[in-house]
Amino acid sequence: MSWVVVYFESSGSPALGLFPLLRIRSVDDGSIVTEDTMEEVGNGFYRFDFFTYDITKDYIFLADAITLLPKDRFVEGATGEYGKITNNISIMSDNVDCRVLLMKKLDTNKLELYEGGNANWILYDDDSITPINTFNARDKDGLYILQTRHMASKRSKAIEHG
């Protein structure tokens, strides 16, 4: 089971007693995956059980508090490469916070840094073969990384922290 959690406030205080409408779209084709009312958790937080969540797909969502003023009315978010899942979205899967899993992969999985400035830092999945993401890494002055020709800097899969 997965869920989406959002926070609403009105004039700087938690907004209570709302019935926000949540619309979740697939990034692949823009189709609406689900549209439903969110449940109040308390202290301005509202949640939606997202039973059809697929961790291999990217989603965007918009929660609409409807009755609040325009400046407080909407909360948006995204998953996958389109979201900032490490710091602004609360999407949970099977009671395991996906942000924790991502941080573990960043900390322990294989990394390779190649010379150049375009997609030259590669983070691999747990199999040490499949790239999860690539990044543009440059030095502190914004210049391309210089290394021995055709030799990547590597961090093999790290040892599990006990």
Q: How confident is the model over 93-112, as pLDDT tens digits?
A: 444 455 556 667 777 777 77
Beta bridge partners of residue 153, listed in sequence order:
113
Confidence of residue 87 (pLDDT cuts 50, 70, 90): very low
pLDDT at 20: 97
Checking if the pLDDT of 11 tops 70, the result is yes
Task: State the burial class of residue 30 (Cβ atoms within 10 Å of its Cβ: 0-12, 13-18, 19+).
Answer: exposed
Q: Provide the 10 A C-beta neighbour count for residue 51.
A: 9
* Phi, psi torsion values for 104, nearest 5 degrees: -65, -40
pLDDT at 14: 95
Choose among 135, 157, 138: nearest CA to 147: 138
Q: Which domains does the chain have, with CATH numbers?
A: 2-101 (2.60.40), 109-155 (no CATH)
pLDDT at 158: 52
Q: Which secondary structure element, helix H or strand E, spans residue 74, and what is its range?
A: strand 74-78
DSSP conformational letter for 160:
P
Confidence of residue 150 (pLDDT cuts 50, 70, 90): low
